Amino acid sequence: MPPVTVERRRAADAEELFRAYQGVFGEPLTDGSRRRWQWQYLDNPQASPEGPEIWVAREGETLLGQYASMPVRLHWNGALVRASWGMDVFLRPEARGKGLGAQLFTAWSDHVEVALGLGLTPSSYGLFKKLRYEDVGPVPFFEKVIDPVAVARRHVGAALSGLAGGVLKLGLALFHPDPRPPTANVTIRPITDFSAEYDALWERLRSGYAMCARRDQGYLNWKYVQCPTRRYDLWEARRETGLAGFAVSRHEDYHGLRIGWLIDVFAAPEDHETKDALIAQVLASFRAAGVARAQAFSMNGALASDLLRRGFLRGRSPMQFCVHSRVPNGDVFRELQRWHVVFGDSDMDR
């Protein structure tokens, strides 16, 4: 029997990996993976000249599994470092329980300065902890009911939705009233792409965060404009002095309920005025689109307070988060409130 090796994916491995992926995840998820593959692995502005950052376990010519990652430049402890988000890990059933998962994880994390595991399955989460990754999650989750009747209909049915929705609306009005309209000092407008100004915005704001994936023009256009499987609404915030921040949102039908996602809200952490105006604009767009409930993830303490101020409530978060660093960390692990991690990071929104 040939030895098992862990090495970088070869171009010739593509079809066998897709067949193995389908065997583990099924045909619908495999079709989605095929549709976004070029964008996700080759068009990424941080893609390596050596090809996709995917590691495979191989027994002779048989592929047993893979660990794929999304490279990013990460603001970490005051410096920009090579990092990547781990994703799309799988093993064939016959290869499980042999330590191959740990070998794949190690091959990935040894390749970058900071390895980021977000939105982990229970098995992946257990393996990350076993390998002594820092457990920094879960990333806090927030939700806001916009249409109480629609939310009540989902839970109690149409017959009782009017009564239940009225009670829910009254409770929200009493205990979580809508705040005042945002200040007129910030102007919000929709945009179709991100201009070169966003490079300067990133350089100006990044020092306010202890950890944040670089949000420059190239990254933002790749992530939110060129994505082949999602359509995003983009919002730009401006003051008299110029560009102040942005938000990304979208909405979708989910089991009969219209859900709105606040994908990202980015401004100076202390600039609550700009973030308040951005969140208020996104919520207004959700109401116009018939959204029943708005949802967001945010690890950043300042953004969390902005969401709470706009009537969001904390909910139970399923988004576990583990990190492994091979570079000086300083106080970064003691400053989790200054990390910026949202639903738009990694490949969570796909």
Output the tens digit of pLDDT for each of the chain's 350 residues: 678 899 999 999 999 888 888 888 898 888 888 989 999 999 999 998 888 999 999 998 889 999 999 999 999 999 999 999 999 888 888 888 888 999 999 999 999 999 999 998 888 899 899 999 999 999 999 999 998 877 766 655 554 455 545 555 555 554 555 666 677 789 999 999 999 999 999 999 999 999 999 999 999 999 999 999 999 999 999 999 999 999 999 999 998 899 999 999 999 999 999 999 999 999 999 999 999 999 999 999 999 999 999 999 999 999 999 999 999 999 999 999 999 999 999 999 98
User: What is the C-alpha separation between 197 and 266, in angstroms, rounded?
Assistant: 14
Q: How many CB atoms lie within 10 A of CB 276?
A: 23
CATH topology of domain 4-135: Aminopeptidase (3.40.630)
> For residue 94, which of 70, 62, 125, 116 has the smallest C-alpha distance?
62
Spans of all domains in the chain:
4-135, 141-316
Token pair recorded at residue 144: 């806001």
Q: Given this model, what pLDDT does residue 160 score?
A: 45
Q: Given this model, what pLDDT does residue 262 score?
A: 98
Q: CATH number for the 141-316 domain, one of 3.30.70.270, 2.70.170.10, 3.40.630.10, 3.40.630.30?
A: 3.40.630.30
Q: Given this model, what pLDDT does residue 173 score?
A: 53
Residue 89, beta-bridge partner list: 67
Question: Parallel, antiparallel, or unpaired: how do β-strands 321-325 and 114-118 relate?
Answer: antiparallel
User: What is the C-alpha separation between 315 and 139, in angstroms, rounded?
Assistant: 11
User: What is the C-alpha separation between 83 and 341, in angstroms, rounded?
Assistant: 14
Amino acid at 274: T
Token pair recorded at residue 70: 């999304």
Amino acid at 101: G
| Fold agreement (4-135, 141-316) | yes
> For residue 343, which of 75, 198, 140, 146 has the smallest C-alpha distance?
140
pTM: 0.90
